[in-house]
Structure 1
Amino acid sequence: MMRPAEPGLGATYLGDGQTHFLVWAPFATTVDVRLLGPTQREVRLRPLPRGYHAATVDDVQPGSRYTFVLDGTLERPDPASRSQPEGVHRPSEVIDPSEFSWTDQGWCGLPLRDLVVYELHVGTFSDAGTFLGVIPYLDGLRDLGITAIEIMPVAQFPGERNWGYDGVYPFAVQNSYGGAEGLARLVDACHQRGLAVVLDVVYNHLGPEGNYLGDFGPYFTERYHTPWGAALNFDGPHSDEVRRYFIENACYWIDTLHIDALRLDAVHTIFDRSAHPFLQELSESVNDVAERRNRRVHLIAESDLNDPRLVRPPLLGGYGLSAQWNDDFHHAVDALLTGARSPYRRDFGTIDHLARAYRDGFVYSGQYSQRRQRRFGAPLTGVEAQQLVIFVQNHDQVGNRVDGERLATLTSFDGLRLAAAATILSPYVPLLFMGEEYGETTPFHYFTSHTDPDLVAAVREGRQREFAEHWDRDAPDPQDPTLFISSRLRPDLADREPHRQLVALYRELLTLRRELPSLAHLRRDTLEVTVARPARVLLVHRWHGPDATILALNFDDQPATVLLPVPGGNWHKRLDTADPTWGGSGSRAPDAVDASQATAVPLPPRAAVLYHRQIAKEAP
């Protein structure tokens, strides 16, 4: 794709009081940059091919405020603004990222197989509600066994309360969180502790309030429609420039703000029928940045399609993304633990669904789906286990319940311990949702702070319609400030029982995952999964060389007795979630199992037991 010469989109401070402005505005004949302040002035940008306008302007320092004036009448903030200090409707600000103080020069990132991801929302994670407010908790997360934090979207959104999916300035870091400098300080602090940073980005839509892209050019198309209206234009006339905008945004996060991975929101609503799809071009561009910077960088897709093409290499007909979220694992565990049988989960509820999630990755890889009333998904042929991210909680699965209930209020502590073991001891990349590790019970609501009364009413009505199918009561008002306040974590719970015991269990599970070779190596071809009937018990046998483990997961409310499929060797119990150490009521599962005998192992209800084969040491 042809690119206008560097510097890139937006306002780029060049030093010595010079700032370069570049904007794509094919709808405008003339574009002026209006520089605000005591000596307000306007400078005409020169037109360039394909609808760009640019100029290098003297006497414009970092901190200067500006807008673009289209055809002499329409004044708008910069679509590629790096800072919106007064919100989405007010002028943009010139910043100089070269002034950020970095200490991570030796940081090269982490491989996918080493990721243990912790998803958080900056506004509700700490009382401060800022990037700097996250930093004091990083040591605790690292000591727990977390290796990466995933930050929900931080592109500038209206007001101060939002999940982040209503962002309208993809390059500007939310001002109320601390702006670009605050994010840089958080990323640097993570890297100092060996933690990677994943940033959630939204390339399938923009929020409604403050969305002025349509005044500049054909960013949107009516050929496709999304739940948020017209789709972004990734394959029609002028789509090269739309692609450039979002690819440059991705590279900005990675190159300038040192982000290690991007989680791509709902890629199934990115519509693109071109021969060289946007997602593939995005992957190629990000890989170029990673190679130039000698860093490991990942693109992780959220998708509702169970489509392995997202993560297959282009040579095999894929888009070359690094990994994708796997909702099927969540649905399988959640249905077993909570008994949820809403229309949304009608495809799940048996132990066989979870067995398939372990064995195949996707539960639906071409089978008939009752919910969709058609065959759904495709097999993950040629896809590695480390390319699937699994979870039992995340912002969607919690916040899109009518009352924002976490798993801790939907199941017992026995169930929480079982869910933790099922997730962390799987052969996939685990993701935890903030507070999960100690059984946080505060809700995580959906909240907004829009200022347009018509939009506020539309969001309320839309939320009610969305929930009408699943719940028989009204949804809370997203604009209610108390929803935001009540969604804040209460980390002091982690110091009380049984929450403290749950934290200790998470730490032990993550230690076992890291230290036992059969658990640390993420593969599906060194795994056997069996269902012990008639109980709802799953037996997961994994191995790497001589090292091997057997994980027994009892999802039944009653005790069960099973024969472990133990090959040769002596097997020792390494973990039992029913042990009083973790707040359980006790267990009769034996401490050792001899493979030479058919040993019947009693399992407590809603418990996980892990056996590890003892490797005999050779005589000196």
Structure 2
Amino acid sequence: MIFEVWAPRATTVETDLGSGRRALGPSRPGWWAVEAPEAGHGTDYTYWVDGEGPFPDPRSLRQPEGIFGPSRVYDHGRFTWEDHDWKGRDLRGSVIYELHIGTFTPEGTFAAAAGKLAHLVELCVDFVEIMPVAPVPGSRNWGYDGVDLYAVNETYGGPDGLKTFVDACHRAGLGVLLDVVYNHLGPSGNFLHPFGPYLTGTQGSYWGEAVNLDGPDSDEVRRYFIDNAVQWLRDYHLDGLRLDAVHALHDRRATHFLTELAGEVDALACHLGRPLTLIAESDLNDPFMVDPAGHGMTAQWNDDLHHAIHAAVTGESHGYYADFARPEALVKALTSGFVHDGGYSSFRARSHGRPFTGPAYRLVGSAQNHDQIGNRPRGDRMTPAQLRVAAGLLLTSPFTPMLFMGEEWGASTPFLFFTDHVEPALREGEGERRRREFVGFGYDWDAPEPGDLETFERSKLDWTELKEEHHRSLLCWYRDLIALRKALPELTDPRLGLARAELGEGGKWLRITRGRIGVWVDLCQDSITPPLPDGAVVLLDDSDVSAGPEGDPRSGPSVVVYRLVG
């Protein structure tokens, strides 16, 4: 086989296959290569650049000994796929379920997660979205400290484990999205610097150096990330990618990196004959992100919808929730998409965003996600009573809903920020760095230490909770809402202009009407009698949802979905 690596500024490049170093020679511009007929699947190797090393391959497909170990040759063709009938899944009308492999099950592996797919099928979600799986320091991490971006975390099951999981999802009728991080690399085990100008050397975001997307030699850097995206979609049969914090991608070129990536993915979708999805996490509130004439992303996360639902249900108004504390913000989010669409943001102390005109499915909304739970000091979730209302708002909206693992049964386990850095300086300073990151968010930062094993263990879902009546009851409510969503075209109609909203009793309740379907929500959760129109036929309400251990003095429903007749 041929070993090839990009190192445009090196004078010598060598590889070591375990029997001593051998020199690579210049091949195409900036690239070095050497043929090693004896090597193949399973061969371990490292690189040396200008006498420095050993380093893993920047495009390493496997790191069996972790981020500081050698790379291992991995042949994608050796895996036997069984998803031959899979035709892909369209994002339109779908429901996404976000999970973290390490905490979704007690075992924290792809194989264990595959064992829970029946639960997701019965919930009737359409996509599983996996948090990042690139190798990270130690044995536990959210995934956003990843390096060796072409490889898969061995703790979870490595490349074959991911393929087996995707294969099982497809056979169960579920699409799979993968969260990828292209705006920075982790602070530990990042050995790209010796090979070439992958990073700019300037602080691109809070999390580290900016990726070189527009400077000298940036053509190959862009290719590095685009080829990475293609690998996941082609070789791992993934159905789409969630792109982390794209507002931290600094690119001044005429064709933005995201636009170039979207074009490549569209071409791959045509070749594969199945839809491929790109979802951007963006803090810009700019519809250019999803405009086919703009960056061409399939969809983008909509934090405004989350913030509006969260503020309405919990009553919190600190930090960025201050702009969403009034019920009118919830109305605007549900009927317009963005709350900040050019107006003033007090949290940013400036105007923010542009109006969104749809279609609504291009905005991914949530009542909970890994960020909005995990970025709270104690990683606490909404209560089951709060989730009952939040689910009613989210799953009857025209946007693409996303649930976070365990939300559907009101999991009591937190989702905390956890790491396992090897270097003492990173391990010991992580808690303080985390505290500084959230200055101004309105929290008293009493978070547990990220590097403690207990912090990770506490974040694992407790599946035995499903034996308890109030958890099973909430799960049934989520199932019923999703089933109703799929049965009523009005609830997924992407035309935002169709919705009509009414606030009653000074904002105590909200009514949203789309065609002949109405949704009434008690925002105060204080047993208001639903003021339903004459001729309304109730299709679903939450009267039978068990109160839960926190108690619930309701004497009537908090959410009612009804049809107007006559």
TM-score w.r.t. the length of structure 2 is 0.96
Is 2:380 the counterpart of 1:401?
no
- CA positional deviation for 1:564: 4.6
After the TM superposition, list the runs of 4 or more consecutive aligned residues in structure 1 that deviate by more than 4 angstroms: 561-566, 580-588
Secondary structure (helix, strand or coil) at the match of 2:92 reads helix
- CA positional deviation for 1:460: 2.5
Distance 2:527 2:211 in 1: 53
Q: Bigger CA drift: 331-340 or 252-261?
A: 331-340
Give the equivalent residue in structure 2 for 1:319.
295
**What is the aligned counterpart of 2:562 among 604, 611, 615?**
611
Report Cα offsets for 1:211-269 as digits up to 9, x if no partner. 01111111111456311232001111111111000000000000000010100000010
| 8 Å Cα contact 2:525-2:554 kept in structure 1 | no
| 8 Å Cα contact 1:532-1:562 kept in structure 2 | no
**What is the aligned counterpart of 2:198 among 211, 219, 230?**
219
- CA positional deviation for 1:474: 3.3
Q: How does 1:106-505 map to 2 (within 5 A)?
A: 106-222=85-201, 225-314=204-293, 318-381=294-357, 383-408=358-383, 413-467=384-438, 469=440, 470-505=442-477
Distance 1:73 1:311 in 2: 44
Report Cα offsets for 1:109-129 as digits up to 9, x if no partner. 111113211111000111111
Secondary structure (helix, strand or coil) at the match of 1:290 reads helix
Task: Quickly say closer, same or farther: Cα 1:428–1:450, change in 2 above 3 A.
Answer: same
Secondary structure (helix, strand or coil) at the match of 2:282 reads coil
Distance 2:51 2:345 in 1: 55
Distance 2:52 2:444 in 1: 50
| 8 Å Cα contact 1:402-1:467 kept in structure 2 | no
Q: How does 1:10-21 map to 2 (within 5 A)?
A: 19-21=1-3
Distance 1:345 1:535 in 2: 17
- CA positional deviation for 1:29: 1.2
Report Cα offsets for 1:265-318 as digits up to 9, x if no partner. 00010111111000000111111111100011000000111111110012xxx1
**What is the aligned counterpart of 2:478 among 506, 510, 514?**
506
Distance 1:266 1:250 in 2: 16
Distance 2:492 2:445 in 1: 45
**What is the aligned counterpart of 1:555 among 523, 531, 546?**
523
Is 2:11 the counterpart of 1:29?
yes
Distance 1:498 1:252 in 2: 43
Q: How does 1:61-72 map to 2 (within 5 A)?
A: 61-72=40-51
- CA positional deviation for 1:457: 2.5
Distance 2:204 2:116 in 1: 41
- CA positional deviation for 1:51: 1.3
Q: Which amino acid in structure 2 is aligned with residue 319 of structure 1?
A: H
Larger-Rg structure: 1
Q: Which amino acid in structure 2 is aligned with residue 225 of structure 1?
A: G
Unpaired runs of 5+ residues, structure 2, are none
Report Cα offsets for 1:10-59 as digits up to 9, x if no partner. xxxxxxxxx222211113112112102xxx14332221343111233201
Q: Bigger CA drift: 250-259 or 74-83?
A: 74-83
Report Cα offsets for 1:563-610 as digits up to 9, x if no partner. 5567xxx4310111134578776656xxxxxxxxxxxxxxx5xx1111
Distance 1:46 1:473 in 2: 54
Distance 1:55 1:114 in 2: 49
Is 2:537 the counterpart of 1:572?
yes
Name the count of aligned residue pairs: 562
Report Cα offsets for 1:81-105 as digits up to 9, x if no partner. 0000001011000011111111112
Unpaired runs of 5+ residues, structure 1, are 1-18, 589-603, 616-620
Distance 1:331 1:270 in 2: 24
Task: Quickly say closer, same or farther: Cα 1:96–1:326, change in 2 above 3 A.
Answer: same
Report Cα offsets for 1:157-182 as digits up to 9, x if no partner. 11111000000111000011100100
Q: Which amino acid in structure 2 is aligned with residue 553 of structure 1?
A: V
Task: Quickly say closer, same or farther: Cα 1:343–1:73, change in 2 above 3 A.
Answer: closer
Which has the bigger relative contact order, CA under 8 A and spacing at least 6?
2
Distance 1:580 1:187 in 2: 33
Cα-Cα RMSD:
1.8
| 8 Å Cα contact 2:327-2:507 kept in structure 1 | no
| 8 Å Cα contact 2:340-2:352 kept in structure 1 | yes
Task: Quickly say closer, same or farther: Cα 1:64–1:484, change in 2 above 3 A.
Answer: same
TM-score w.r.t. the length of structure 1 is 0.88
Secondary structure (helix, strand or coil) at the match of 1:377 reads coil
Distance 1:610 1:162 in 2: 40
Distance 1:563 1:402 in 2: 39
Q: Which amino acid in structure 2 is aligned with residue 26 of structure 1?
A: P
| 8 Å Cα contact 2:187-2:208 kept in structure 1 | no
Secondary structure (helix, strand or coil) at the match of 2:262 reads helix
| 8 Å Cα contact 1:579-1:585 kept in structure 2 | no
Secondary structure (helix, strand or coil) at the match of 1:206 reads coil
